[in-house]
Amino acid sequence: MPRHSLVVGAATPIPLACEPMADVQPLRALHYDPDKTGGLQHVVAPPYDVIYTEGRADLLAQSPYNVVEIDLPLPADGADPYGHAAAVLDRWRAEGIVARDEGHALWPIEQDYVGPDGRPRTRRGFLARVRVQDYGPGKVRPHERTHPGPKDDRLRLTRATRTNLSPIFALYSDPQQRAWAALEGGTRGTPWAQTVDPDGTVNRVWRVEDALAIEAVQRVTANSELLIADGHHRYETARVYADEVGGEGPHRYVLMCLVAIEDAGLTVFPTHRLLGGLTEQKWRDLRAAIEADFEVSPLAGLDELPPDTNETVDIGYLDSRDRRPYRLRLRHQMTADAKLSGHAEPYRRLDTAVAEALLLKGALAMTDEQIDHLEGLGYARDAQHAIELVLAGTYDVGLFMAPTPVERVRDVAVAGESMPPKSTYFFPKVPTGLIFNPLFD
């Protein structure tokens, strides 16, 4: 079932005349030697947080040099995983499997993909190193609350390897697409590397060291604040690590894939909520809250559960008892406004925020800690998978969200708010292993 979606000369880091809103720099990357790995197809991987144990084994079966060996370390002898990652990376460097680039460059990336809605698109961006700053207006903004667990893991890995192994995905504003236009000349030849994801996404990466092109990109990005789309844990880890090391140096920068928020290939898909372990009292409380605050309408079929748009607060509903699909529409916006009175207007109109306030925290009395630790709560990006989990009784209730327009994501962030966890699903992911950012000279 488809889901719904809304080289001229070598460059060195270029200091800007005044302190930029975003300090984007080329990097002297660490990267695989394609001649020694047979290209990058069998050594890249999805981001660590979407890989399961069996998936990790499958990736390593493709190549012993697959990046999961260092990005998701699980040493067979039970040794310290972070020390293992550092030792493996050191060995790969000594063997020439991973090499330090000769000069500073930006790395344009094109991703041809078919979205969960069945539509083909191309998303364009570039890999760079970006100075780590505190969150704030004109600098870097988060758009989502994060769970606490992954931060400690990523910090330990960063301390051990002193390297950014995977890029943070961030957005900047460039209505005229001037940054991509500056880099486009460097993408007309054969890509430096090309890989194909299991979902069919084709990733092409080029290396651009043209000083004029890099300077043009810096002029565009210096006037734009950055919105983190994916990788909040890694960015917050980078902030902690930079302050731990102290002083100036490469550790003050983090690897990012930057995409213009106006890029035609940029899409955001929803993440659906799954509720489990409901007692009889919780069932009654949930139904009472739904009847009080929502208009309930039956749907013709299960494929209509995810709402098409986020213009109004509409939520798809399916439970394991009735097993019939319904649409929940918020009766009165004032109900959400009252419950979320401490939040800005764009936040109060998010279906994920309304569902959290009225149903999770309201009807089910879930705490922030329970939500953070997924107690009685699960997530699913694929609507069909969510339906199957509910109908099988694995979860009691499925709440199906609408896609959030990119502009609304930005409005929430500009208002100084962070969306509830898993409010957005930016697709496709940027593979790990294309290049690495060393945090040392």
> What's the predicted TM-score (pTM) here?
0.85
Lowest mean pLDDT among 27-36, 150-159, 208-217, 352-361: 150-159
- Sign of the torsion angle spanned by Cα atoms 305, 306, 311, 315: positive
In this prediction, residues 2-30 reach a mean pLDDT of 59
- In this prediction, residue 146 carries a pLDDT of 64
- In this prediction, residue 197 carries a pLDDT of 95
In the block, which residue shows the tokens 């694995």? 394
Measured CA distances, 324 to 199, 352, 398 (Å): 30, 22, 11
* 365 close to 289: Cβ distance less than 8 angstroms: no
Pairwise pLDDT comparison (390 vs 49), residue with the higher score: 390
- In this prediction, residue 17 carries a pLDDT of 38
What per-residue string of b and e applies to 92-128 under the rule 16 or more CB within 10 Å gives b?
beeeebbeebeebbbbbbbbbbebbbeeebebbbbbb
- In this prediction, residue 294 carries a pLDDT of 98
- In this prediction, residue 305 carries a pLDDT of 97
332-373 pLDDT per residue, tens = 999 999 999 999 999 999 999 999 999 999 999 999 999 988
* 343 close to 336: Cβ distance less than 8 angstroms: no
Any residues with CB less than 8 A from the CB of 341 and at least 6 apart, and which?
A: none
Any residues with CB less than 8 A from the CB of 200 and at least 6 apart, and which?
A: 113, 114
Is the per-residue pLDDT at 318 higher than 60?
yes
**H or E stretch at 387:** helix 383-391
In this prediction, residues 92-107 reach a mean pLDDT of 97
385-436 pLDDT per residue, tens = 999 999 999 999 999 999 988 888 888 888 888 889 888 889 999 999 999 9
2-14 pLDDT per residue, tens = 334 333 334 444 4
In the chain, the amino acid numbered 310 is N
| Mean pLDDT value across the chain | 91
In this prediction, residues 122-132 reach a mean pLDDT of 98
Closest by CA to 429, choosing from 123, 131, 180, 187, is 123
Is the per-residue pLDDT at 16 higher than 60?
no
Q: Residue 53: which pLDDT band, with cuts at 50, 70 and 90?
A: low
In this prediction, residues 17-32 reach a mean pLDDT of 82
E strand map for 261-361: 268-269, 272-275, 294-298, 314-319, 326-330
Domains observed in the chain: 24-267+427-438 (no CATH), 271-402 (3.30.1760)
169-220 pLDDT per residue, tens = 999 999 999 999 999 999 999 999 999 999 999 999 999 999 999 999 999 9
Lowest mean pLDDT among 12-26, 300-314, 335-349: 12-26
Which phi-psi region, left, alpha or beta, contains residue 105 (left: φ > 0; alpha: ψ -120 to 50)?
Answer: beta
Q: Enumerate the β-bridge partners of residue 318.
A: 398
Is the per-residue pLDDT at 167 higher than 60?
yes
